[in-house]
Every structure is written in C-alpha cells, then in structure tokens.
Chain A
Amino acid sequence: MKILVAVKRVADPDNLNKIKLSAQGKVDATGLEPKASPYDEYALETALRLNENGANTKARLGETVVVTFAPKEAEPMLRAMLGTGADRAIRVDAKDDALDGDLVARGLAAVVAREKPDLVLLGYQQAESESNEVGQMLAEYLGWPQATFAGSVKSEDDKALVVGREIEGATAQVRVTLPAVVTVLDKIVHPRSVQSRHTAATHAYPDGVRFAALMAIMAAKKKPLVELVLADLVPDVALKVTYGTVELPPRRAAGVKVKDVKELVSKLKTEAKVI
C-alpha cells in the first residue's frame, strides 16, 4: 500500500535536560544534535515493515513517502530516511515558529489530497512539544478514522488494520478501514508488533528500527526529494496557538544518601512521614 509518514526534526531527545533559556525566555537547544523525533522513526519503521516481506527487506512492496514541515536544514534527516528505505521525500518549507499543530495538520491534509496514500503514519507525539495532536486533527480534516497510541498493527489484506491501542492499564483493539491515520508508540518496533500482508506471521524482526547500509545511503542521493511551499498548500497560514515565554521547572535537589535499609525506613517514617 502507499504510506505517507510525517516526520519532525527535533533537538537530541536523549539530552533534553541540557536545554537552557534564551535571553528572550525561549528554549535554547544550542549544542544539541538535531535528530528525527524517535516516535517518527518508529512510524517510518512501521511503514517499511508494512510494505515488505520481513524475509527479504530489500524488496519494497509498496511506496513509502516521508514528509516534513521544516527549513532546508532538515534535508539530511530526509536523506537518511531515504537511505533507510523510504522511496520519496517531501519537505514543506516552513520555520517552526510559523507553525502550530493545527496548521501542520491542514498542510498534511493538502499533501494527502495530492499523494492519496492509503495510510498516514506519525509518531504519537514529537519529542519537543509533546503535543500529541497532529494525527488526530489530520484525521478529522480528512474525515478518516484514527488509531492513536498504537503498540501493534496488523494488516488485513491492506484493506483494514487491526490496531492495538495502549490505553491506561489495557490494550484496546480497534479495526480501522483504510484510508486511515495511525500514530505509534515505541512498542510498535518490538519484534512482532507489525504484521504485514506480505510477511509470515511467525517472522520476528530485530527489536528497534533498522539502520541504513552505506550502499543504500549512496543510492538514496538519487531518490526524489521535493520542496513545497506551505502557502500553496494552505491558503490560511494564521496560527491558532502561539507560545510565549518558557519556564524551566524547579530543579529537584538531590537529597541525602542513606547508609542502610534501617536508616531509609526511619527517614521515611519520621522525616517524610509517608509510610
């Protein structure tokens, strides 16, 4: 099937505790290496697994297109994804502060109208803003069903997907008829979380996302990467949500080291009074 994967470049998610405040009271992530938001990488991995036979991951059995809303600096991320197995990439030129989740959703709806994918995959939230909104808004704008918090997905002949949604303390299974929007959790890249129509049910993937081989990275330089203009896609680029200043949360001070279990219990009883 044809799958559109929406991705976002963020500051190194493993080092977000190193962000600072700028003089203007905004987040300053200087020095943090830009990377793809991990959940979006899981979304790409999901797409690749759905569009291949796990026994021969070199043959692509459906088209996977990645799309991002970002300045030109995000192109290396897209090239890397082409190296990993995506067939084409689209960059909608836009700066972060000219976007909100709603505008990205409307922009994606316009890309969907051009590309006509069977499925749109996204990370359940991106690692910086953690808004968890674009997939749901996109589904509404398209009039499509949505399956959020997906920990597993099983294709039923590429006509429908059975999605295991991880909700509090339980897994809720829903069946969505394609085309649909699915947003994924990290659990989606576990060995048996994705069952495509092409792959034997017994197949187990290595845990996590795949990495591009050097040859594939070289070949990816020839794969199409097109640039689109946001205003051509969405006539009204006014934002509904704008961020003002940012605060850093109060740092939790390190407490004391206790010497043994007896002292720990005594502190919890007499000092913290929580037991």
Chain B
Amino acid sequence: MGGTLVVAELGDGQVKRSTHSAITFAREVGGPYSILVLGDGVAAPAKELSAFGAQKVLVADDPSLAHALAERFAPTVAQVARQGGWDTVVVAATTFGKDLAPRVAAKLSAGYAPDVDRVKVEGGKRSYRRPQYAGNALGWLEIATATQVVSVRQTEFVAAEPSGGISPVESVAKAADDPAAARVEFVRVEAGTSERPDLGEARVVVSGGRSLKEQFKQVLEPLADALGAAIGASRAACDAGYAAPELQVGQTGRTVAPQLYVAVGISGAIQHIAGMKSSKYIVAINKDPDAPIFQIADYGLVADLFVAVPELVKELKAPG
C-alpha cells in the first residue's frame, strides 16, 4: 500500500514544531500518511495532531515510553511501520530524530536518508538531497530498499499548518522490549534557563564570538532584547566558556535559518557558516575588515563591537 509514517516529536508532553516539518515532507511526497505519537499520557498531543490531514493518528501510550530513548522507541516505530505496510518512515532531523531514525532503519533493514533538505521523484524513483562537507556540497542519494527511513531538516521543510478535518485516533500496541531497553535509563534533563525564543525557531538570532570575552551577555543581551532575538554563539565563544554550550551555532551546534542573523565579533569559520548560511539576511559586525564573515554578509559593518553594539541598541530603541 505504501505511504508515509510520520513519527511525532514531543517535548514536555507538547507537540514540537519539528513534527510539522516531518508532516510537510509526507505531504510533499504524496500518498497517504499517518502520524505515530509515542509517549506516556499523550492523548492531548495526539488530538492536536488529528487536525493535520493524516489518514490516522496512531498512539503508542505506555509508561515505558515516557522518555524519548531510541532503544525503547525504535522497536515500536519499526513494528508499526511493518504492520501498516508504510514504505517510508520520516522524522525531523533534530537530536531526537537523528538518534532514533538510524536505529529504526537498521531494525527494518531499510536504507536511511539523513538530514534531508529536498526530495524529488523522477520516473517513479525518489531521490533525496542533503547538505554535506559542512554545507559546501549538496549530495543526491537514492535508497535501494523498498522501505526507506528519512530525517528532514526543519529549516527547509517549512512547518505544516493544520488542514482541517479530523483524523481518527487509534491506539497501537507497544512492541516487545529489546534487550537494549533494559540497559538504558533516563536520569534527568538539565534545561537551559533561557526566557528567549528557541534558537531554531527565532525570527532573529544575535550571535557572538570569542572577542566578546566576559562581556558576552552584557553586550549581546540588550541587542537581543531590542530585536526580540534568540542568542547564539560561535564554537570558540562556547569553548572558551563565554557562552553556554547550548548556544552554539554551526556544524556541531544548531543549524538556524532566521529572517535576520546578526554576527557580532564572529570571524566566520566554515564550521560556523555551515550552521547559519541559510539565514535570509546576515549582518556582520567585526573590526577586522578581512574577516571571512563579510564574504557572506548582506550588510557588513567594520567597527569595534563594544562601541557599535550599544550604539545599535540605542538606534533600534529610538522612536521612528
């Protein structure tokens, strides 16, 4: 029968927006799709997802699924995919999706297309495009197996909107535990305590480099406040301890694509650029006129950031 099984991602019992990107993929490839929700006490998110035009919303509700552990989730995802005859399993390429999807693929003996930014079908054959080489190449791949597992980039698969109608919600049985399930235990989550918008979802991101030193917060926070922005950082700033590790934008950190990205004192190492070059507009403020960041910035200001940023804050707050 074919069709796509979308695996929902929840956070604190809520549907994460990443799920909507996976739904966008399912709509784009066409054919029927269902959404699988795994967790403990997940009736509310399942109901919310019933407004997205899925054939069904399938719910695996079990105390053992309270935490998103791949060893516990993968057997049920694979079993539901097999029993439903779904030929594609898709999840967003978040840490949740990237942790889970390869395990599901191995369980299904399926090929896996990771971190996909585009999909096309030609002559009945589907190919997937994905950024590689720190974003310097886009490779097209094909999967030889009938069942395919995919993770999709949130920045390119724009979040789906509800489509009206109500999908039936159906319970599915949790699969038998893997031997690995008994050998992993969730301990706790230490969340970052930011009141700001999430880096991956913010319209504006203000990022700082190592040259901000101990004044990282002092300089960037007023600017982020003035722009309603999330705060990011270069790897060098995180490594030096000036910024919290979860703020890191780049190949090893978060990939962001806001409307406006303001790079403050960031030189533009390729591993940083890999994480932000899809931003709509890039502003760079740096005192080194030869900094590579200026090669990709729409607007560059060669200036001492400790002077320019406070001035910028003042200008943004000025009426008119």
Chain A residues within 8 Å of B, Cβ to Cβ: 11, 13-17, 19, 27, 39, 100-102, 105, 124, 127-137, 139-141, 143-149, 151, 162, 165-177, 180, 185-187, 190, 207, 238-249, 252, 254-258, 260-262, 264-265, 267-268, 272, 274-275
Given the complex, which residues of B lie within 8 Å of A185, measured CB to CB? 252
Number of inter-chain CB pairs below 8 Å: 275
Determine chain A's interface SS by DSSP, over half rule. mixed
Asked if B301 contacts A272 (CB within 8 A), the reply is no
Is B28 part of the binding interface, using a Cβ–Cβ cutoff of 8 Å?
A: no
B73-106 vs A, CB cutoff 8 Å, 1 = contact: the mask equals: 0100000000000000000001110111111011
Tell me which residues across on chain A come within 8 A of B144, comparing CB atoms: 238-242
CB A213 to nearest CB in B, in angstroms, measures 24
Across-interface contacts of B271 in A (CB, < 8 A)? 13-14
B235 at the interface (CB under 8 A from A): yes
Quick one: which of B142, B198, B235 contacts A186, CB cutoff 8 A? Answer: B235
Q: Which chain B residues border A186 with CB–CB below 8 Å?
A: 235, 239, 252
Counting chain B residues whose Cβ lies within 8 A of the other chain, the interface size class is 35 or more
Q: In the docked arrangement, what's the CA distance between A15 and B136, Å?
A: 10
Q: Which residue of B lies closest to A259 (CB)?
A: B301
In the complex, which residue of chain B has the Cβ closest to the Cβ of A245? B140
Give Cα A257–Cα B296 distance, bound, in whole angstroms. 11
Which listed residue (A11, A133, A275) contacts B260, Cβ 8 A? A275
Is B47 positioned at the interface, with any CB of A under 8 Å from its CB?
no
Give Cα A177–Cα B182 distance, bound, in whole angstroms.
Answer: 9
Q: How would residues 40 to 66 of chain B score, 1 for a CB under 8 Å from any chain A CB and 0 otherwise?
A: 000000000000000000000000000
Task: Evaluate contact between A241 and B187: CB separation under 8 angstroms.
Answer: no
B137 contacts A249, C-beta separation under 8 Å: yes
A148-B98, A174-B184, A240-B110 are contacts. A265–B312 as well, Cβ < 8 Å? yes
Contact B136 A180 (CB under 8 A): no
Q: Can you identify 17 A-B contacts, CB atoms within 8 angstroms?
A: A13-B271, A124-B252, A130-B133, A131-B115, A137-B103, A145-B183, A149-B99, A167-B189, A168-B199, A168-B246, A169-B192, A175-B185, A186-B239, A248-B136, A249-B131, A252-B282, A256-B299
B139 within 8 A of A: yes
Chain A residue nearest in CB terms to B254: A168
Chain B residues, Cβ within 8 Å of A262? 315
A139: which B residues are within 8 A, CB to CB? 70-71, 103, 180
Question: Residue on B with the closest CB to A21?
Answer: B137
Q: Report yes or no: A167 in contact with B245, Cβ–Cβ below 8 A.
A: no
Would you list the 3 A-B pairs with minimal beta carbon distance, nearest first?
A: A240-B111, A255-B298, A136-B102
Q: A137-B103, A168-B198 are in contact. Are A173 and B189 (CB under 8 A)?
A: yes
Q: CA separation between A87 and B145, bound complex, in Å?
A: 39
